[in-house]
Structure 1
Amino acid sequence: MNGPQASWLPDGRRLHLNHGPIDLIVEGFGAKDELHAAYSQAVERFQTILPELVEELTELRRPASTSPRRFTGPTARRMEAAVAPLAEQFITPMAAVAGSVADEMLAAMVAGSRLDRAYVNNGGDIALYLAPGQQMSAAIAGTGHGLADRMTIRWQDPVRGIATSGWRGRSFSRGIADAVTVLAANGAAADAAATLVANAVDLPGHPAIVRRPACELAPDSDLGDRLATTGVGLLTPREIFRALDAGLAVADQMRRQGSIQTAVLFLAGEHRVSGMPAERFTRGVLSHA
């Protein structure tokens, strides 16, 4: 594996950071000198973030409990903090790794700088920074369901993290959601919640759903021999609604507990929204009263 790599994308505005499985797009907005400092800080922090995680990887792959463990690295601590409130069901800190890396990199980027806006996109799991009066538009996954493909997050909205999970994604899912997009206070919280909501969109035992033990797909998976979804066949409308409603119940519970702000669930051309009226999402605007 090569060491940490940093390069500018062709537009000259976005920084690409890559090291092993971590692949980030970073962009800031503000005065030129402030941006220079912010990007330099991001590159410096990126040098050690993966080695720090590797040092504690064995424990990070073990199930969380409601009593948080003590980790050394700041990214590992973010991961554990995100999953501990959700640990009444099976979850490991790895469910929040992408969002936690995004959060950690964003924190390093904006430390001591005076940016207007910034984001770190870790494969679709995003951490946001907005100075007072600022807003940012973001694309969402799972479109083609009658919903807008963009939303606007304003600085006064209690959202600084966006994450998407589903069985078609880069990580294993135990459910059948095409995509579940979650908006939360930070990337780590959004990442962990999206994982569990996507797992809950399910029809256990359905013959049209193909599953395999995660350890057969990836020997080092934190899921062990738990089944991961590898294919979803034809479902009836009633079955689609039942699976979505199961996921929606989990999302609604998380929202009532304060773990998330909004979740949008997609399956087979249908969707459910938890946290704001669907028509407001259709206009692509996030607004909390």
Structure 2
Amino acid sequence: MTRLPQIAMLADGRRLHLQDGPIDLIIEARGSEANIRAAYDAAARRFTGLLDELCEELPGLRKAAHPLQCGLQGVVARRMHDAVAPFAARHFITPMAAVAGAVAEEILYAMTARQLDRAWVNNGGDIALHLASGEQCTVGLVDRPDQPGLMRTTVIGAEDPVRGIATSGRHGRSFSLGIADAVTVLARTASQADAAATIIANAVDLPGHPAILRRPANDLQPDSDLGARLVTRDVGRLDDGEIASALEAGARKARRLLTDGLIQRAALRLHGETRIVGPTAIPRRRVRESVMQ
């Protein structure tokens, strides 16, 4: 039986909240009142039953992705596979690494059948963007996904190819093989950003370091798509050289993905230190403002 998700406008009267099981979306659209209303109605219709669609293919979504072949059927499931496939030849990765971004994209696509100036769908920090010509938005980059507060911001304009933002790391909703506090990736789509953030966050690491506590993923969550792979649970004291070494390992991975056209920019954070990878720097200003403007 299809579940009925929670659908409600937030107190500000501008943003829509959609929640069903682990999927929790905050949505905002700008444009005419009629087009915003139609977009929100479309988002709610597409959201209803979406979790059930994914659950029907969950065994396949939890298997290691093949770089060329995809046996998944649903449109969101196939988008998840397409996002992780470029990494599958070199890394263990499952379509679940792109689930949050792919869901955000699907809802945004349903909304933007209507004419909107700009819109965004935020799925727990993984964000799909729509920007009409001449529009821009300000995106906040967090120091840690599990704590409030912004590290810095960057402005994305309509001429910029970025339409997806995602953050991964050991403090996020999913397990991480690496030790990064946060890795935020800007890419052409939210699902691509989601997959790339996972890969880069895994690469920020110091294998075998005694200050790093790891546990098999399936000890913590029996049905984890990571199986018995060791995931990071705690990171003790690291000296400056060790922090720099771990960040550089992640930055090398990010630079390769940038060269391959899989990301546009990335910000890597560990123990108060940051590395930026991209063709242009991300502004280094601290602000008190919403994550999206």
What range describes the TM-score normalised by the shorter chain of this pair? over 0.9
Q: What SS does the aligned partner of 2:24 have?
A: strand
Q: What SS does the aligned partner of 1:252 have?
A: helix
Cα drift, residue 151 of structure 1: 1.4
Cα drift, residue 70 of structure 1: 3.3
> Match of 2:138?
137
Kept after mapping to 1: 8 A contact 2:152/2:283: no
Which aligned pairs between 1:250-289 and structure 2 lie closer than 5 A? 250-278=253-281, 280-282=282-284
> Match of 1:168?
171
> Match of 2:102?
100
How large is the RMSD of aligned CA atoms in angstroms?
1.6
Which aligned pairs between 1:41-80 and structure 2 lie closer than 5 A? 41-80=42-81
Pick one of 180, 183, 199 that aligns with 1:180: 183
* TM superposition score normalised by structure 1: 0.94
Pick one of 215, 218, 237 that aligns with 2:218: 215
> Match of 1:110?
112
Q: Which runs of 5+ in 1 are unaligned?
A: 285-289
State the one-letter code of the partner of 2:81.
E
Deviations 1:175-225 (A, max 9, x none): 000000000000000000000100000001111001100001111110000
> Match of 2:290?
none
Alpha-carbon distance between aligned partners in 2 of 1:229 and 1:3, rounded to the nearest angstrom:
35
Cα drift, residue 149 of structure 1: 2.1
Deviations 1:108-154 (A, max 9, x none): 1111x11000000000000000001100111111189xx95221100
> Match of 1:8?
9
How many residue pairs get aligned? The number is 280
Alpha-carbon distance between aligned partners in 2 of 1:212 and 1:32, rounded to the nearest angstrom:
50
Alpha-carbon distance between aligned partners in 1 of 2:51 and 2:190, rounded to the nearest angstrom:
17
State the one-letter code of the partner of 2:172.
G
Q: Is 2:239 aligned against 1:233? A: no
Pick one of 167, 191, 196 that aligns with 2:194: 191
Alpha-carbon distance between aligned partners in 1 of 2:254 and 2:128, rounded to the nearest angstrom:
20
Deviations 1:85-122 (A, max 9, x none): 111210000000000000011001111x1100000000
State the one-letter code of the partner of 1:266.
R
Q: What SS does the aligned partner of 1:177 have?
A: coil
| Percent of matched pairs sharing the same residue | 56
State the one-letter code of the partner of 1:116.
D
Cα drift, residue 66 of structure 1: 1.1
State the one-letter code of the partner of 1:96.
A
Alpha-carbon distance between aligned partners in 2 of 1:222 and 1:212, rounded to the nearest angstrom:
14
